[in-house]
Amino acid sequence: MTSPSVDELPSAAETLTSQIPSHTAPIVPIPSSNDAEAVGEKRKRDDDDDEKTTNLESSTPSPWFKTSLCSYFRRQGSCSHGAACKYAHGENELRQKPDNTWDPTSERGKKAKMMSENAVKEEEEVGDVMFTEEMMDDNDGGGGGSVHDLSLSKCLVHLPTKWQSDDLKTFLREQGVEYKFAKKRRGMMVGFLTFENAEQLKNGVEILEGKNVNNKSLKIADVLPRTFDKNGAKNPAAKLKSAREAVTPLADLSYADQLEQKKASIAQMLKKLTRNARKACPNGKSLPEWVLQSREIGGLSCKLEGIIESPLVNGYRNKCEFSTGYSVEGKLTVGFMLGNFSAGVTAVEEAVNCPNISKLACRYASIFQSFLEKSRLPVWNRFKSCGFWRQLTVREGSKPGVVSSDEDADSRIAEVMLMVQVCSTDTDEAEVATEFEEMAKAFAEGARASSPPLPLTVLVVQDHVGISNVAPPDCPLRLLPIPVSDNGTHQDQSTNVLTEARIHDHINNLRFSISPTAFFQVNTCAAEKLYSLAGDWADLGPDTLLFDVCCGTGTIGLTLAHRVGMVIGIEMNASAVSDAERNAKINGISNCKFICSKA
C-alpha cells in the first residue's frame, strides 16, 4: 500500500487539537528540533496567538523563526498576524532551518526531497555497466597499451552528458587522480577509467566515490566482463542480462500480477500529478476543485477504474524496431539494446523469449542478422557515429475480424513491411546497390524457406544520417523490389508491382492504410477496446464535434466517426495525414477532415 504524502496526512498538531475540548486554551509549541514546527507540519492557531507573537517580538528571535510556511497564508492568501507572524508568508520569506533543511512543504523542500529520492533510485539502479569492445579497445591516445584488465578498470556514472574525454581528464587532474586511460563520449552519463596499478585504483575510488558534480553524486561501477575472452574461452565471472529482462521486465510475473503492478504504477503517477498541481498553484490562489477532491480518493487526481486486459497477451506487437550492434561477447547481433546508450550500455542481444514480440518478427531479425554477417558494409558504431546498417523495423498487418489465441497469434498476420535504416554517408553507390539487391534476395528466400512461409509485402530502405536512430518524418525512403520465385524454374524474378510503400491493418472492421513512418497502435486488439471506451466516456452524440489531436493515420477519429457529427483530425506528419485521408475514403467515411499542422 502506498503511503500518503505529507499533504494528505493530518499533522500531529491537528490531531491533538481535535482531541482537546473546545474550552481549553490552544497549546503553543516551543520551537525545538523535535516539534512539528521543525518538520514543517501544519498546526492549529487562533487569535490568542497575537499576545504570544508580541512577546516573541520583544525577545531574541528563535532560530526557527520563519523556517516554516504559514498554513493560514498559504490557504487563504492572508494572515491576521501580518508581518509579525513567526511563520513565513510565502517562499521569499522562508528561511533555512538550523539543521540546513527546508520546510518539506515548500518548493525548495520538495525539490530537495525529489533530488534525494532520485539519487537513491539511481544508486539502486546502477550496477555493472555493459560496454562493448569499442569503448574499451578504442584507445584514443589515452596512454597506449591494452585497457582490458577489468580488475583495474572502473566506470564513473552520473557525469555531465556534455562532457567529452578532455573534460573528464581535466576533472581528474583537478581532483588529483592518477590514472592510465580515460574516455568519455558526449551524450553519455558514463566515463571509462583504467589505472596503472591497484594502489592508483584504490586512491582514485576513494577520491571520486560520492564526489558532487553538477549536483549529482558520482557513482563508481564495475565494467561487465566479456562472456568470452579473445581465445573463445567462456568467462565464468561474466554476468549476462538478456533482452527479455531489458525489454519485458515483468514477463516472469503472471498476467494478473502484471496488471496489479501497472495499476499501482499509474496510481503513483496520478498522485504525482495532484502534488505537482498543488505545488504549481500560486500563493493566495484557490486550489482547483479536482485537487481538493483528491483527498477523498487517496490523493489521486481522478478515480482509477483499473486496467483493461489485452485480448492478446503474447506476440501482440505489430511493430518492432531491432537495433544492429554487438553483443557483450562481441557477436554481430540484430536485437534489442540492453539499456540506454547515455548510461553506457551499448550491448545488443537477440530477442529471445520476449513474449510481446511475434515469432514472425524474430524470424525476420534472424534473417537480417545472417545477412549482415556476410555483408561487406559495417553495422552502425554508436561510439564513433559511423557505419552503414543501423536498424530493422518489422511492421505487421492483421486479417480483418481475426482475434487469435496466444498460441497461434502469428496466424492473424496477413501483410508485412520491412524497413531497413542505413547511413549512406561516404559509401560507394554501386556497392550499396549490390548490397540492397543481395539483402532483398536474402529476405525473400528466408521468408519462403520458413515453415509456414512468411508474408512479405513491402521492403523499403530509410537513409538516415543523424546520430540517433530516431529519423525525421521527411527522411528519404527507397522502395526495393522483392524477388519472387517462379514455381516452374525456381529462379528469382524481381517484381515492381508496388508503386507505394504501405501495408494494411484492421480495427473495428475498418481497413487502415499504413505508410512506413506513420503512427499506428502497436496492439490493435487492445486499441479496439480503448477506442470504444474513450467514446463511451466522452458521451458522444450526433451533434458532437470531435477533435482527434495528433491523429496519426486517423484511427481514433475514424472508428468513432459513426457516433458523432464531425471529426477534425490534426497531425504534423504529412504522410500520416495522407494515410488518414486515404483511410477515410476506403472506408466510405465522409464526416472527417484531416489537417497537417502542429497541434
571 annotated ligand-binding residue: yes
CA distance 428 to 450: 33
> With contact defined as beta carbons under 8 Å apart, do 409 and 358 qualify?
yes
**Residue that is written with C-alpha cell 510475473 in the block:** 253
User: 515: which 3 cell numbers?
Assistant: 505508410
Q: How far is CA 1 from CA 34, 255, 268, 303, 490, in A?
A: 28, 20, 11, 17, 64
Q: Is the dihedral of CA 74, 76, 77, 83 positive or negative?
A: negative
Phi/psi region, residue 266 (left: phi>0; alpha: psi -120 to 50; beta: rest), is alpha
- Partners of residue 449 on adjacent β-strands: none
Q: Is the dihedral of CA 571, 574, 577, 579 positive or negative?
A: negative
Comparing CA positions, the residue from 106, 87, 96 lying closest to residue 37 is 87
Q: Which residues contact 235 (CB under 8 A, 6 or more apart)?
A: 225, 226, 227, 228, 229
Side by side, the strands of the sheet bearing 319-326 are 348-349, 332-337, 319-326, 389-398, 413-422, 458-463, 477-480
Comparing CA positions, the residue from 16, 76, 85 lying closest to residue 49 is 85
91 annotated ligand-binding residue: no
- Partners of residue 512 on adjacent β-strands: 505
CA distance 411 to 453: 11
SS (H, E, C) 69-129: ECHHHHHHCCCCCHHHCCCECCCCCCCCCCCCCCCCCCHHHHHHHHHHHHHHHHHHHCCCE
CA distance 41 to 57: 23
CA distance 183 to 190: 9
Q: Is the dihedral of CA 336, 338, 339, 345 positive or negative?
A: negative
Buried b (16+ CB within 10 A) or exposed e, 224-239: bbbbbeeeeeeeeeee
CA distance 258 to 514: 31
Residue 297 CB neighbours (<10 A): 13
Comparing CA positions, the residue from 312, 294, 292 lying closest to residue 303 is 294
The binding site for S-adenosyl-L-methionine consists of 521, 571
The binding site consists of 521, 571
